[in-house]
């Protein structure tokens, strides 16, 4: 199955208006690399400005979270419709930092994914095991359980899964190539068992300490449809180099 590669950047809680120039530095890469989808997820406060500055470009914008409710008395929350209205087309959901910092359960992530889909956003839904779970040999079962509980029934083929081992995020550590291939196959099997052809078409990204130096190897791995990039997405030089390291870029598209 030919799945269009996707490289998404997650700025986390970094970035002020002055940093949007870094985003503009990515536009020429995104315009040239027509074989890839490129998405940047800045803080919610910057989405509207970013959308305005990127107008007419091919780079997509996403939020980093959304509320499960459509609207209502939920002070401080941002709804999926608000993200869409600001110019986002995507939203990261269930990131391990939100599961850790805000106690987000799989059920809540699922409700958020439902809200995102209802508002017309494409979820990038994160799953991944802790180091203790990996050491206990439970990585596959943890990820399979997270998928079963957090991906909504009837999820469309456009929904994206990001496999992000918690211990690889922001640590400089990455699983071996064989481990990434193995667990991506586990994710694919679970998606196909539940969603059939749609499950075969869903993209599965790898996330966790992707940087220019390792992007070429990781992005070429069997079953890896792209990457979710944190720290290295903050600088145009690094994020641009990661995009350029994709095999599709080297093949001239
Ligand atoms: C992330 O935040 O999703 C991530 C993968 O972070 P980093 O690339 O910094 O490890």
* pLDDT for res 41: 98
The rounded radius of gyration (Å) of the Cα atoms in the chain is 17
Q: What CA–CA distance (Å, rounded) separates 99 from 76?
A: 18
Model confidence band, residue 114 (pLDDT cutoffs 50, 70, 90): very high
Share of the chain above pLDDT 90, in %: 90
Q: What CA–CA distance (Å, rounded) separates 235 from 250?
A: 21
- The residues annotated as belonging to the active site are 95, 164
* Tens-place pLDDT, residues 164-196: 999 999 999 999 999 999 999 999 999 999 999
- Average model confidence (pLDDT) across the chain: 96
Determine whether the shortest distance from the Cβ of 233 to ligand 1 is under 6 A: no
Model confidence band, residue 251 (pLDDT cutoffs 50, 70, 90): low
Pick the range with the lowest mean pLDDT from 22-26, 60-64, 150-154.
Answer: 22-26
- On whether residue 103 sits in a domain, the answer given is yes
> Does residue 163 surpass a pLDDT of 60?
yes
Model confidence band, residue 137 (pLDDT cutoffs 50, 70, 90): very high
- On whether residue 240 sits in a domain, the answer given is no
Nearest residue (CA) to ligand 1, atom 7 = 230
* pLDDT for res 40: 96
- On whether residue 132 sits in a domain, the answer given is yes
Q: What CA–CA distance (Å, rounded) separates 116 from 66?
A: 7
- On whether residue 41 sits in a domain, the answer given is no
* pLDDT for res 24: 87
* pLDDT for res 148: 98
Determine whether the shortest distance from the Cβ of 47 to ligand 1 is under 6 A: no
Q: What CA–CA distance (Å, rounded) separates 48 from 33?
A: 24
Nearest residue (CA) to ligand 1, atom 5 = 208
- On whether residue 38 sits in a domain, the answer given is no
CA of 155 to the centre of ligand 1 (A): 25
CB 93 within 8 A of CB 112: yes
Q: Specify the CATH number for the domain of residue 18.
A: 3.20.20.70
Model confidence band, residue 128 (pLDDT cutoffs 50, 70, 90): very high
SS (H, E, C) the chain: CCCCCEEEEECCCCCCHHHHHHHHCCHHHHHHCCCCEEEEECCHHHHHHHHHHCCCCCCEEEECCCCCCCCCCCCCCCCHHHHHHHCCCEEEECCHHHHHHHCCCHHHHHHHHHHHHHCCCEEEEEECCCHHHHHCCCHHHHHHHHHHHHCCCCCCCCCEEEECCHHHCCCCCCCCHHHHHHHHHHHHHHHHHHHCHHHHHCEEEEECCCCHHHHHHHHCCCCCCEEEECHHHCCHHHHHHHHHCCHHHHCCC
Model confidence band, residue 28 (pLDDT cutoffs 50, 70, 90): confident
* Total domain count, the chain: 1
- On whether residue 237 sits in a domain, the answer given is no
Q: Scan for tokens 């890839």, then name that residue.
A: 36
- On whether residue 193 sits in a domain, the answer given is yes
Mutate to test the pocket of ligand 1, among 93, 168, 210, 213 (most ligand atoms within 8 A of CB): 210
Count Cα atoms within 13 angstroms, Cβ side, for 124: 35
> Does residue 46 surpass a pLDDT of 80?
yes
* pLDDT for res 249: 83
For residue 150, what are the domain limits? 6-28+58-230
> Which is nearest to 244 in space by CA: 69, 73, 74, 38?
38
Mutate to test the pocket of ligand 1, among 209, 214, 238 (most ligand atoms within 8 A of CB): 209
* pLDDT for res 30: 86
- On whether residue 39 sits in a domain, the answer given is no
């Amino acid at each position: 199955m030919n799945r269009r590669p996707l490289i998404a950047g997650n700025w986390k809680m970094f970035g002020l208006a002055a940093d949007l120039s870094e985003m503009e530095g990515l536009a020429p890469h995104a315009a040239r690399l027509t074989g890839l989808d490129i998405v940047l997820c800045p803080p919610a406060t910057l989405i509207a400005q970013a959308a305005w500055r990127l107008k007419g470009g091919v780079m997509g914008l996403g939020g980093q979270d959304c509320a499960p409710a459509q609207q209502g008395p939920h002070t401080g929350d941002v709804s999926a419709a608000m993200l869409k209205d600001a110019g986002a087309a995507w939203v990261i959901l269930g990131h391990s930092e939100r599961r850790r910092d805000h106690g987000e359960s799989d059920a809540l992530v699922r409700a958020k994914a439902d809200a995102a889909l209802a508002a017309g956003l494409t979820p990038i839904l994160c799953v991944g095991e802790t180091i203790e779970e990996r050491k206990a040999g439970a990585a596959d079962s943890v990820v399979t359980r997270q998928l079963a509980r957090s991906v909504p029934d009837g999820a469309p083929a456009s929904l994206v899964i990001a496999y992000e081992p918690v211990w690889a995020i922001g640590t400089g550590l990455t699983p071996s190539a064989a481990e990434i291939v193995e667990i991506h196959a586990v994710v694919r099997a679970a998606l196909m068992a539940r969603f059939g052809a749609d499950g075969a078409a869903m993209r599965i990204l790898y996330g966790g300490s992707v940087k220019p130096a390792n992007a070429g190897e990781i992005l070429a791995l069997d079953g890896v449809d792209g990457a979710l990039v944190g720290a290295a997405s903050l600088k145009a030089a690094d994020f641009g180099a990661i995009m350029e390291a994709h095999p599709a870029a080297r093949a001239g598209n």
